[in-house]
């Protein structure tokens, strides 16, 4: 289907402009002139969760305003750069619910590389050859990724048992230097009491990635600073790769409820109290379930090492990093041997100490 790209031309020289990380401005690729983006402050306006919202994938064909080439944007692609002249190609969203908000990038490419190198250097079990390789070959791509953000209020009724610990003195038969002795020890026991009750919790801004093509590693960088959210403006996408959501909103909400359920379970354990807890039943109902489509910044990269691909993701605002990496089995074996040597040394020392004490007692008697 034929689409038009949104114009981001420099008012000074007519060249293309891209969104500048760290400022709400477009910057000209040629003369470096800047133009402010109409950045409007985010106002919370989430809508009720609706099971009927389905993604709408359309293959788009656009004429590049830079070189005139026909460029194809695959299903759910929202923006990318022309493969021939690097001109930014940004189109309007086609999903039934377009993104309502966007979180602009705050970390640039150089900062992302430094974060990655610092993270890699802190991994003692990473192979040394990997560190040398990535000093020269590692690359990151800035991506605006689609997310759903969910709010909900929960009410949970539960029943279970509270376990309170107490101690009783018991006699045990032990052998010391081959001689039978009776000793008294404190034994821990649990007194179980039936309990029931309820707990409430309000959830806000539970983020679920909504692009099936994103690597799983992005789930490790959910701690976004949402105080920086702005109302969605496609100008922020100029010069960046971005996609619309291709997951069903309801399936994403089910994933959000799995997370909420784990938090609620912890609340129930806390509410039961005691030293130990047994949960027999949990019944949770949700109300005021709301959502919005948003776009969040992430630096993505991957590298291949000995025939296997490893993915890296960096939060484009906070710098939080999550990644997969290979392990050096030689280093692991060395670490295990060191630990075993330390434990053997401790055991030998204790054995000598106990032997000396026993000899002293025998001489004294």
Give the per-residue pLDDT at 351.
Answer: 63
Mean pLDDT over residues 28-56, rounded? Answer: 88
Closest-CA residue to 249 (of 101, 51, 11) = 51
Tell me the sheet residues that pair with 190: 165
Task: Give me 26's structure tokens.
Answer: 């477009």
Residue 324 clears pLDDT 80, i.e. is over it: no
Q: What is the mean pLDDT of the chain?
A: 86
Predicted confidence (pLDDT) per residue in 208-243, tens digit: 999 999 999 999 998 898 989 999 999 999 999 999
What are the residue boundaries of the structural domains of the chain, listed by start?
1-37+57-94, 97-162+194-326, 163-193, 328-365
pLDDT band at 53 (very low <50, low <70, confident <90, very high): confident
Cβ neighbours for 279, distance < 8 A, ≥ 6 positions apart: 158, 160, 265, 268, 269, 272
| pTM for the structure as a whole | 0.82
């Amino acid at each position: 289907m034929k689409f038009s790209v949104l114009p981001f031309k420099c008012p000074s020289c007519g060249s293309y402009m891209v969104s500048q990380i760290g400022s709400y401005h477009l910057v000209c690729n040629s003369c470096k002139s800047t133009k402010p983006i109409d950045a409007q402050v985010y106002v919370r306006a989430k809508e009720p969760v609706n099971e009927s919202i389905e993604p709408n994938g359309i293959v788009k064909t656009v004429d590049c305003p830079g070189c005139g080439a026909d460029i194809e944007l695959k299903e759910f692609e929202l923006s990318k750069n022309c493969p021939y002249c690097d001109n930014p190609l940004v189109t309007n969203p086609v999903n039934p619910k377009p993104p309502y908000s966007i979180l602009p990038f705050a970390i640039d490419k150089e900062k992302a590389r430094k974060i990655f190198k610092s993270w890699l250097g802190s991994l003692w079990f990473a192979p040394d050859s990997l560190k040398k390789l990535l000093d020269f070959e590692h690359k990151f791509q800035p991506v605006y990724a689609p997310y759903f953000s969910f709010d909900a209020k929960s009410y949970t009724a539960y029943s279970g048992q509270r376990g309170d610990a107490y101690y009783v003195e018991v006699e045990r038969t032990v052998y010391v230097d081959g001689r039978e002795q009776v000793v008294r020890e404190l034994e821990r026991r649990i007194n179980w009491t039936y309990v029931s009750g309820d707990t409430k919790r309000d959830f806000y801004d539970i983020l679920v990635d909504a692009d099936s093509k994103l690597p799983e590693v992005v789930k490790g960088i959910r701690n976004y600073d949402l105080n920086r959210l702005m109302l969605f403006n496609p100008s922020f996408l100029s010069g960046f790769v971005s996609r619309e959501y291709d997951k069903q909103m309801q399936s994403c909400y089910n994933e959000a409820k799995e997370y909420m359920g784990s938090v609620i379970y912890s609340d129930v354990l806390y509410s039961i109290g005691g030293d130990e807890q047994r949960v027999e039943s949990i019944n949770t109902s949700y109300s005021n379930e709301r959502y919005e489509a948003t776009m969040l910044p992430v630096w993505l990269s991957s590298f291949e090492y000995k025939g296997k691909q490893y993915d890296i993701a960096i939060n484009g605002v906070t710098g939080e990093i999550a990644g997969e990496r290979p392990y050096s089995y030689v280093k692991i074996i060395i670490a295990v041997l060191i630990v075993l040597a330390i434990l053997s040394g401790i055991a030998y020392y204790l054995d000598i100490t106990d032997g000396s004490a026993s000899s002293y007692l025998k001489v004294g008697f």
